[in-house]
Amino acid sequence: MRLDRFLWILAAVVATAAVADTPFKEAVALYRSGKAAEAAWAFEKLSAEKPRDVILLNWLGFVRLKAGQPAEAIAPLEQAAQISPKYVEALNNLGNAYFARGLADKAVLRYLEALAVKPGFADAHYNLGNVYLSQNQYEKAIESYRRARVFGMKEASLANNLGTAYHRKKLYPEAIQSYREAVALAPKNASFQANLGFALRDAGKLEEAMAAFKEAIVSDPRSYGATIGLGDTYAQSNLLTEAVERFRKAAEMKPEEFAPHYNLGLLYSKQGDFAKAVAAYERASQIKPDDLTAMTNLGWVYYKENKLAPAVEQFRKAIRQDPNFLPARINLLTVCQQQGRLDDALAEAKEILRLAPRRTETRILLGNMLIEKDLFEEATAAFKQAVSEDPRSEKGYAGLGLAAEKQSKYEEAASAYLKAIQINPKSAALYNNLGVAYEKQGLTDRAIAQYKKALELDPKFAEAQFNLDRFQDQ
C-alpha cells in the first residue's frame, strides 16, 4: 500500500520590465498569497488587454493549473507556445496541464520540446520522469530524475519519486537510499517517511520499517498509509495483537476502505477469533462485493464457526462469479466432505483437477473418496497419477497400498506400503498397514515385526496393539 506522491514544479517566470506594472504585480501578489482563483481572473483580464503577451499567457495557464483547472490552463499555454515556440517555461507548464488531464503522450512531447531548447532544464526532466513513472516506464523515469538532479534540482519530491521508481523495479537498496534522502530534506513529511517504511518492509528489514512508519505517524497521526504499513509489518513479524490495533485505527480513519477490514479478517482468523473475522470479512465484502478472495475467506470463517450453509453459499457465489477460482472450489470440497456429501465432493475434486491437473493433494483426496465408493480401479489410477507427479508422495503410495488391499492384491499392497515407508519411516500407521498386508499373505513373522515397529513408534497405537495381541493370544 505504497504512497506515491508527486509534487509538481510548475515554472513561472519572474516579471520582466515589459509587464512589471501595477496590475501585473497585483495579480502576482494574489497568487503568492494563495488566492489562485482570484489571480487567474486578474491574469485573464490582463491577457485580454495584451492577447499576444506570452508571459501573461504563461502566468494565466500556470495559475489556472494551481487553481485546479488544468483543462482551462491548456488554451493560454498552447497560445504562448505557438507565439514563442522556444519559451521553455510555457512548454513545461503545458506539459503539466496535459498530464493533469490524462494526456500523457502529449505531455511527453511538450517536455521533450522544452529540453530540446534547454537541455539543462531540471524542471522538465523532473516532470518528464513523473509521466514515465505513471506509465510504468521505470528505467526512463530513473534516467529523467537523475538528469534533474545533475542539473541542480535538490527537492525532496525528486528524491521521493526517484525512490518510487527504484522501488517499483524492486531495487530496494537504491529505493531506500533515495527515500532516506527525501526524509532528510523534508524530515516531517509523513508520506516520504511511509514510503521509506514500505521499501524497508519489502527489503525484509522489518524492524527498520516499523521505526520509519512510527516516525511517519508522529509526523502525522492521521497518516492512513503509515498506519496500514505499520499494521502489515507487525503482521509479517507475527505481532498479531499490535497489527490488529493498527488496522482497527486504519478502519476508523477510512471506514469505507477495503484493506483494513480485509486484513482484520485475516488477523482475527490467525488468532482463532472467527466471530470477529466474520464481521470483518462481511464489512470488506460490503465494500467490495465482487472480491473473490474476501468472499471465499468469509466462507472459510463461516465454516470454522460451523455455519456450513452460509459457508457453502459464499463458495458457490465465488464460483458463480468465476468458475475457475480454485480457492473457492477447494474450500467447497472440504465442506462437502464434512457434510458427508460424497458425490458432490467427488464432482468438485474432478473439477479442481480439470483446472489444476498437477494438484497432487487433490488427486490423492479423489483416490480416497473413490475407495469409499468401492471404485477401487479408479482409485488405483488416481494414486498412480499422484505418484507419477510426485514420486515422494507418501500419501500417494499409501493410497495405492490401500486400493490394492481392498482388491485382495496383498503383494502389491505390501510393495506400495514399503515405498511409502521409505519416504516416511516414522509413520506408525504405515508399518501397521504393511503388517496387515503381510498377515493376509500368511507371512506371520513379518506381520508381527511390523506391528511391533508400529508400537515402537507409537506405544498408544490401539489398532497395532490389537493386531499384535491377536497373535500373542494364540
**Residue 184 counted as domain residue:** no
When comparing pLDDT for 3 and 408, which is higher? Answer: 408
Tell me the pLDDT band of 472, cut-offs 50, 70 and 90: confident
Give the pLDDT confidence score for residue 20 in this predicted structure: 52
Residue 17 forms part of a structural domain = yes
Does position 415 have pLDDT exceeding 70, yes or no?
A: yes
* Residue 310 is assigned to a structural domain of this protein: no
72 lies in which domain range?
Answer: 1-118
pLDDT band at 37 (very low <50, low <70, confident <90, very high): confident
Q: Tell me if 39 is assigned to some domain.
A: yes
End position of a domain, from candidates 118, 135, 165? 118
Are 139 and 145 in contact, with CB atoms under 8 Å apart? Answer: no
Q: Which tens digits make up the pLDDT trace of 211-227?
A: 999 999 999 999 999 99
Residue 137 included in any domain: no
326-338 pLDDT, tens digit per residue, is: 999 999 999 999 8
- Number of structural domains the chain divides into: 2
Last residue of one domain, picked from the residues 118, 152, 178: 118
Q: What is the mean pLDDT of the chain?
A: 93
- Of 87, 118, 149, the residue that ends a domain is 118
What's the pLDDT at 474? 60
User: Which domain CATH number covers 457?
Assistant: 1.25.40.10
Establish if 309 belongs to a structural domain: no
Q: Would you place residue 122 in the very low, low, confident or very high pLDDT band (cuts 50, 70, 90)?
A: very high
Instruction: Please state the rounded mean pLDDT for residues 261-284.
Output: 97
- Is 470 inside any structural domain? yes
The span from the CA of 414 to the CA of 350, in Å, is 28
**What tens digit of pLDDT does each residue of 384-395 get?**
999 999 999 999
Section 177-184 average pLDDT: 98
Please indicate, yes or no, if residue 437 is contained in any of the structural domains. Answer: yes
Note the pLDDT of residue 22.
Answer: 85
The model's pLDDT over 77-118, given as tens digits with 9 standing for 90+, comes to 999 999 999 999 999 999 999 999 999 999 999 999 999 999
pLDDT given at position 2: 34
The pTM of this model reads: 0.82
